[in-house]
Structure 1
Amino acid sequence: MISNVSYKKVKMQLKINQPPIVCYLHHAYPLTSAMHHEDFNSWFFSNYIQLEYRCQTKEVNFFTYVICGNSVFIPILDYKILDLEFIFKSNIDIIEFIKNSIENGYYVTTYIDEFFIPERTAYKNNHFRHDIMIYGFDLNKKIFNVTGYNDRSDYATSSVDFSDFKNAYLNSINKQNDLILFKPKDNGSYNPSFTFDIENVKNLLYDYVFSQDSSHRLRAIGNPKENFTYGIEVYNELMNCYRWAIEIDKKVCDIRQPHLLYEHKKTMVDRIHFLVAKKYLKREYDFASTYTELKINALKMRNVIIKYNKVNDKSLINRSIENLQNMFEKEKKTAQDLLEAISDNVAVTSQK
């Protein structure tokens, strides 16, 4: 529990590493913290399999459970969630509160106006409400250590003066600044550990292969989602999205779509190596090489879209559509074979 204690440290930084997913910050931030839990790989490779496509906004994302605007739920983290109204009514100084939280081991995320945050594209140019994560402080320099996307589009660390941060927080657009604190669970936490869940892998992989709505598996938490496409069918949605871009002469395409595909294939490669190491998959299967090829193709497609955004050559969009079709055909068979191989191996193992 966070308390109002005097600060024993003049400067402090919590551990920070590059998370496996950075396309969206609501994944990157909690994953950065969760990586320091000993069961992180067991949890991560049990999840982050299913993809979803929000038809209304044409966004591709991993299927996860979002607990608040800028964080997904990860069971190996302890969370504290507060809202702006609570902070104001409690007469809490936001700078002192964040320093106190970090001293207690919590990473802090919230929304700010990037007009006031150095090394951001919006800095002193325009008011832009975005999320940020604070992981350290230096009382002598009067700065916070923060991470997020900088003005070079890199997910990177930087620093911000206390005064600039306070302005950014208090002037954030719409004044909707949930504060989400999280840290890796320890032995004093409720359910502090996580065991690798091969059944969840099979379920999510099945949903991915057959484009099933995985939100039906979370009915105890909330109603199933509407107007989403799931799994391998995301490829067809993206192809239609690019055809639409050509039709309306769209000048800039969202590079997050191919980048998230890249992160998905990269995660699948790492998961396959994990499954082999844990003997859930036989070494003679060569799924990793196929997914490595898919990962490379997704990265190339992202670079093609970046080029299109500069030169507006529609042949580049057509090339991306062809690439998506080829990836779709290759992954549909590979993912189904992977599901069968895992299921067969688990069945044999359980009989021993």
Structure 2
Amino acid sequence: MLKKELPLKHIKINYDPIIDTPLEIIAQYPDLYEQKIAENGIDTIIYDNDISDNVSFYNITYALNKDCMMFMNLPLEVARFSISNMTDYIIQLLEKSYYVQFLCDPYWVSNYVSYQKEHHEHPMLIYGFDTVNKYFLAQDYFDYKQKTKQLVSFKDIDASYYNSSFSQLPDEYQLLNACVLHCSKIVNTKAKEINCDLIKQSLINFLNCYSYTKVETEGIYYGIQFFDILINRYHNDSDYVSL
């Protein structure tokens, strides 16, 4: 397949449009985050099949040594514990109609205003590719102000993956390395509407399973408060997809 573009509208996936990565949902609980980040992630997705009951909470299935390469909700048939060519791997996922979020270091990606200026992490949503012209179709806040769609070269993705170093990142970004990838399979178009009560109860059940310390930090929502924020944003803009 030479090229492919996945749609970005009218897809029923209930991710928060502002907090771009599901990992950040549990990042608000410091002790829970430190203890469980390699094992659990709150990640709700709507399904239309006989076994999921229309909502699932996935685990991060693997953490690869010090690189913190984490595969989130990858099915077994595509999960690989060793990726020698990240560009080819992302293309394979897109060919299977998986959206890919690549947590890159913008220092290596020329689309960002911080290119060759500073190291940090930013989640880039990749939704298509063109192997002839060697670029990915991506969506992100490349100027850190407004979300836009841009063409990101294979070369820059490879540079971020292969050149990023854990030691280059400021302390506040060292919970995860610059090469974190996860993806979500797009739901069946016949999927039912989101069962908000089920999602809320699932979140409550998850939080009740683990003890955590509430830390007073400005601008952060805790526990079940996060559900209210997520659902309000979903109802205000139900056509988004922001992984």
TM-score (norm 2): 0.58
- Counterpart residue number, 1:245: none
1:135 aligns with 2:121: no
Which residue among 11, 35, 38 is the counterpart of 2:3? 11
> How far apart, CA to CA, are the structure 2 residues paired with 1:74 and 1:265?
13
Give 1:166 deviation, angstroms: 0.1
- SS of the residue corresponding to residue 209 of structure 2 reads coil
Query: RMSD of the TM alignment (CA)?
Result: 4.7
Q: Which of these residues, 260, 267, 281, is aligned with residue 232 of structure 2?
A: 267
| SS in structure 1 of the partner of residue 101 of structure 2 | strand
One-letter amino acid of the structure 2 residue matched with residue 183 of structure 1: K
Q: Which residue of 2 aligns with 1:224?
A: 210
Check whether the contact 2:99–2:186 (CA below 8 A) recurs between aligned residues. Answer: no
* Paired letter, 1:165: I
Displacement of 1:182 after TM fit?
1.2
Counterpart-to-counterpart distance in 2, 1:111 and 1:164: 13
Residues 107, 115 of structure 2: 8 Å contact kept: yes
Corresponding residue number in structure 1 for 2:45? 74
Q: 2:185 aligns with which of 183, 189, 200?
A: 183
Give runs of aligned pairs for residues 250-329 of structure 1, distance below 5 A.
Answer: 264=229, 267=232, 270=235
After superposition, residues 1-352 of structure 1 pair within 5 angstroms as 7=1, 10-17=2-9, 21-26=16-21, 54=28, 67-68=40-41, 72-76=43-47, 90=82, 92-174=84-166, 175=177, 177-186=179-188, 193-194=191-192, 197=195, 199-200=197-198, 216-218=204-206, 223-228=209-214, 241=218, 264=229, 267=232, 270=235
Unpaired runs of at least 5, structure 2: 31-38, 48-54, 70-78, 167-176, 239-243
Q: Which moved more, 1:104-113 or 1:82-91?
A: 82-91
2:17 aligned partner, one-letter code: V
1:193 is displaced (CA, Å) by 4.7
Structure with greater helix percent = 1
Letter in 2 for 1:181: C
Query: For residue 63 of structure 1, what is the aligned residue in structure 2?
Result: none
Contact conserved, 1:137 with 1:144, CA < 8 A, in 2? yes
- Alpha-carbon distance change, 119 to 186 in structure 1, aligned in 2, over 3 angstroms: same
Q: 1:139 to 1:267 in 2, by over 3 A?
A: same
Displacement after TM superposition at 1:73 (Å): 3.0
Q: Is the 8 A contact 1:53 1:228 kept in 2?
A: no
Equivalent pairs counted in the alignment come to 191
Question: Scaled by the length of structure 1, what TM-score is found?
Answer: 0.42
Q: Distance in 2 between matches of 1:183 and 1:88?
A: 16
Whether the 8 Å CA contact 2:111–2:152 is kept in 1: the answer is no
Larger relative contact order, structure 1 or 2 (CA cutoff 8 Å, min sep 6): 2
- Distance, in Å, in 2 between the alignment partners of 1:269 and 1:116 is 33
Q: How far did 1:13 drift?
A: 0.9
Q: Give the Å deviation of 1:228.
A: 2.8
Q: Is the 8 A contact 2:99 2:127 kept in 1?
A: yes
**C-alpha contact (below 8 Å) 1:111/1:172 kept by paired residues:** no
TM-superposed deviation, 1:135: 1.0
Instruction: Give the percent of matched residue pairs that are identical in Structure 1 and Structure 2.
Output: 18
